[in-house]
Amino acid sequence: MKALVKAAPGPGLELTDVPDPRPGPGDVLVRVLRTGICGTDLHIDSWDDWAARTIQAPLTLGHEFAGEVVQVGSAVTKVKAGDLVSGEGHLVCGTCRNCMAGRRHLCANTIGLGVHTNGAFAEYAVLPERNTWVHEHAVDPDVAAIFDPFGNAVHTALSFPVVGEDVLITGAGPIGLMAAAVARHAGARHVVVTDVSAHRLELARKIGVDLALDVRRARIDEVYAELRMSEGFDVGMEMSGQPSALREMISCMTHGGRIAMLGLPAEEIAIDWSAVVLKMLTVKGIYGREMFETWYAMSVLLQGGLDLSPVITHKFSYTEHETAFETARGSNCGKVILDWTEH
């Protein structure tokens, strides 16, 4: 089968033939239909310091995907051939304290599909049944392919109650955009998104945020009067990993405000901890999805009319992976999809 592989240490990927995977007793074999390109994939492609420390080549990339089950192992009991599925890309140990307590998203022994083990940028992929999400209701395969990052957005957006609250989201990348859509759908009073990309701010407006703010041209606290706010934001979602964004978010939170932090900083961030203390702020780190409570929430949100289509801006055949990766690396896009059914 064809697969997109990091064949050897160094920049670049190779579309090549690899052996078809075989499912074990507790696994399912999936014919991949669509995959989403993640920032992690871009790091592996460019072979930055993180990739050089983390990746063991050769490796098939990819952890955002949707496909059709074509075969199941002898111990599989619930998933069946023909099911449309998405994959939970965090493979947990199942035996640590958190896993045994049902907190699998907190497993300290987590390994990543397409990072520590061969992933889904291929015509076929194998996944443990316990990591397979079956779509019981109709869903566009393009949307099903981004359930992994959609889960990050939902986990972040619903970490704190947002009904009637003023919400600030720093970073209008695909996950930030999806979090904005979730917050709006879940009943936030105001949703403000900040970024420096005009294209992504326009996508935020299409999603229906109250204000998409270019922070190069205005400060966040300058919008209070326009939105009839007096004390600051109730809930913050930091999606950018930028030090200046976190610092400004802290300064713009109301007393008792709550911050969910998904953006991964590339370096240490110096912040005014006295503001955190004196404002009595809560800061919560977010990594991945709650398995599988977040997945239930994702499906229910889509069934309830949440529209993610504006977030998906480009789709390419897997044979055009170089163009797709170049597009995803720029700022004039939302989510970029690879179609594994078109040659």
Asked whether the predicted pLDDT for residue 343 surpasses 80, the reply is no
Q: Does 224 carry a binding-site annotation?
A: no
Give the pLDDT of residue 22. Answer: 95
- From the list 91, 113, 115, the residue with the least C-alpha distance to 104 is 91
Tokens of 306: 């949440």
Measure the CA–CA gap between 82 and 282, rounded to whole angstroms. 45
Give the pLDDT of residue 115. Answer: 98
**What structural domains does the chain harbor?**
2-146+308-339 (3.90.180.10), 153-285 (3.40.50.720)
Question: Rounded mean pLDDT of 153-167?
Answer: 98
User: Which pLDDT tens digit goes with each residue over 106-115?
Assistant: 999 999 999 9
Q: Does 338 carry a binding-site annotation?
A: no
In the beta sheet, which residues pair with residue 85?
A: 67, 134
Residue 134: pLDDT band (50, 70, 90) is very high
Question: Rounded mean pLDDT of 285-296?
Answer: 95
Q: Output the average pLDDT for the chain.
A: 96
Residue 317 backbone class (left: φ over 0; alpha: ψ -120 to 50; beta: rest): beta
- List, in order, residues 6 or more apart from 72 with CB less than 8 Å away: 23, 27, 28, 29, 79, 80, 81, 129
Q: Does 318 carry a binding-site annotation?
A: no
User: Which pLDDT tens digit goes with each residue over 18-36?
Assistant: 999 999 999 999 999 999 9
The question of whether 40 is a catalytic residue gets the answer yes
**Which is the catalytic residue, given 16, 35, 43, 255?**
43
The question of whether 319 is a catalytic residue gets the answer no
- Cα 48 to chain centroid distance, Å, stands at 20
User: Which pLDDT tens digit goes with each residue over 244-275?
Assistant: 999 999 999 999 999 999 999 988 999 999 99
Tokens of 197: 């990309």
pTM: 0.95
Asked whether the predicted pLDDT for residue 342 surpasses 90, the reply is no
Q: Does 286 carry a binding-site annotation?
A: yes
User: Which pLDDT tens digit goes with each residue over 40-58?
Assistant: 999 999 999 999 999 999 9
Residue 124: pLDDT band (50, 70, 90) is very high
Q: Does 93 carry a binding-site annotation?
A: yes
Give the pLDDT of residue 333. Answer: 95
**Which is the catalytic residue, given 35, 40, 254, 313?**
40
> Percent of the chain beyond pLDDT 70?
100
Measure the CA–CA gap between 176 and 263, rounded to whole angstroms. 9
Give the pLDDT of residue 331. Answer: 85
Q: Does 55 carry a binding-site annotation?
A: no
Give the pLDDT of residue 266. Answer: 83
Asked whether the predicted pLDDT for residue 189 surpasses 90, the reply is yes
Dihedral over alpha carbons 204, 205, 210, 213 (to 10 degrees): 70
Question: Rounded mean pLDDT of 178-189?
Answer: 98
